[in-house]
């Protein structure tokens, strides 16, 4: 049996008529950059996530970058974040001119550890950027308490967590700014790149709109140096079609995850930890195994795709060597890179496929 890590072709086929009609509508309108499709998407996703404002941009990376700039964070400032994430989180900090400061992760949730983050605060710290890794929101209460105590901004990298909740509250129902990615394999994915910033502050939203359009509030008048970071109408139209399916897709992911939890409870894998306060939407179902590479090879031989997110912690990457970190500095993140393996959990899986994947893991551990 073949079990892919994602199946975007099948997903498209299930809504082909709707998506094709949405694309045709944009093509016939002649309005390809921003416009009503983007405005409607901003309103709909803001409502979905509990925000007053959504500002669509051309990628999740730019959503982070523009969030930092909109909060005045740049040269001379420090931003505390996790080393166990996709590079965009740290890349945006550097591109804004600030310095990333890495703190270790919670080995259970894989998210940035609030206690370790607190140890990294200095007079130059301006913000904390936790990542809602694999679809589970970082501890909002702990980080917001830390931010309040030290007058810091929280910028939540929620690229993997659209539809998630924490303590009964949605992504944007907490202070700070949340960013989304619409990369094709995300829980809500475009047919290309896309991103959005969610905020409850009108001034921040207006600043973001200026930044994404060359620093212009309209016409050929420029308030500041900006960026070219606009979501195109085709992607917005596609995302609007897909958005109405998101709750069902997230529930399917959670159902698959629950079945894995049940079937793999007596094996050598360490199953994902779910914070009881969290509504986890399982962008990834990430196991830990002491022989991760051998397990990955075995699954591939049986037709099961898997992924390693992430194989090398960012503080040890060549691109960030100038920051001066060494092996052993952040042991929980470093150990995770040696043990994590994500198995298929996407909503288009069949029950038989989920059972097959679980059976293969059980056979490997037998």
Q: pTM for the full model?
A: 0.97
Pairing of strands 153-157, 78-81: unpaired
**Measured distance CA(121)–CA(135) in Å, rounded:** 26
- How remote is the C-alpha of 232 from its chain's centroid? 20
pLDDT in tens, 206-241: 999 999 999 997 789 998 999 999 999 999 999 999
Reading the block at residue 34, the tokens are 């921003």
Residues 316, 327: contact at Cβ < 8 Å?
yes
The number of residues making up the chain comes to 366
**Cβ atoms < 10 Å from Cβ of 327:** 10
**Measured distance CA(96)–CA(329) in Å, rounded:** 25
pLDDT for 366 = 65
pLDDT for 290 = 95
- The candidate with the shortest Cα–Cα distance to 131, out of 189, 61, 190, 192, is 61
- The candidate with the shortest Cα–Cα distance to 212, out of 200, 194, 237, is 194
| DSSP 8-state code for residue 270 | B
pLDDT for 219 = 82
**Measured distance CA(166)–CA(225) in Å, rounded:** 36
- The candidate with the shortest Cα–Cα distance to 105, out of 313, 342, 270, 341, is 313
Phi, psi for 179 (deg, rounded to 5): -120, 145
pLDDT for 233 = 98
pLDDT in tens, 10-45: 999 999 999 999 999 999 999 999 999 999 999 999
- The candidate with the shortest Cα–Cα distance to 70, out of 180, 193, 177, is 177
pLDDT < 50: residue spans in the chain: none
Q: Which residues of 29-38 are buried (b: 16+ CB within 10 A; e: fewer)?
A: eeeeebbebb
What domains are defined for the chain? 8-103+112-243 (3.40.640.10), 246-365 (3.90.1150.10)
pLDDT for 134 = 98
pLDDT for 266 = 87
């Amino acid at each position: 049996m073949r079990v892919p890590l994602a199946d975007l072709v099948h997903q498209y086929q299930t809504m082909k008529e709707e998506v094709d009609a949405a694309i045709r509508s944009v093509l016939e309108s002649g309005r390809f950059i921003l416009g009503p499709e983007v405005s409607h998407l901003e309103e709909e996703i803001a409502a979905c996530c509990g925000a007053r404002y959504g500002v669509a941009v051309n990628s999740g990376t730019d959503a982070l970058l523009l969030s930092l700039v909109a909060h005045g964070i740049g040269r001379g400032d420090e931003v505390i974040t996790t080393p166990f994430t996709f590079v965009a989180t740290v890349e945006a900090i550097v591109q804004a001119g600030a310095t990333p400061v890495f703190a270790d992760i919670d080995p259970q949730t894989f998210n940035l550890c609030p206690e370790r983050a607190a140890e990294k605060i200095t007079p130059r710290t301006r913000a904390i950027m936790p990542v809602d890794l694999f679809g589970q929101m970082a501890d909002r209460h702990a980080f917001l308490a830390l931010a309040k105590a030290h007058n810091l901004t929280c910028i939540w990298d929620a690229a993997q967590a659209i539809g998630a909740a924490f303590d009964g509250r949605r992504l944007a129902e907490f202070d700070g700014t949340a960013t989304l990615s619409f990369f094709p394999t995300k829980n809500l994915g475009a047919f290309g790149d896309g991103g959005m910033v969610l905020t409850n502050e009108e001034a921040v939203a207006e600043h973001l709109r200026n930044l994404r359009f060359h620093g212009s509030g309209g016409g050929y008048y420029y308030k500041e140096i900006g960026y070219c970071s606009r979501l195109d109408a085709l992607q917005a139209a596609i995302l609007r079609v897909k958005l109405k399916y998101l709750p069902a897709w997230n529930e399917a992911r959670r159902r698959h995850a629950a079945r894995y939890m049940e079937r793999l409870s007596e094996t050598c894998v360490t199953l994902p930890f779910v914070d009881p306060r969290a509504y986890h939407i399982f962008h990834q179902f990430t196991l830990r195994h002491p022989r991760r590479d051998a397990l990955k090879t075995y699954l591939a031989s049986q037709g099961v795709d898997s992924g390693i997110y992430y194989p090398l912690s960012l503080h040890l990457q060549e691109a960030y060597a100038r920051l001066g970190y060494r092996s052993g500095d952040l042991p929980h993140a470093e150990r995770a890179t040696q043990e994590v393996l994500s198995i298929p959990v996407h909503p288009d899986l069949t029950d038989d496929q989920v059972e097959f994947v679980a059976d293969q893991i059980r056979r490997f551990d037998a």
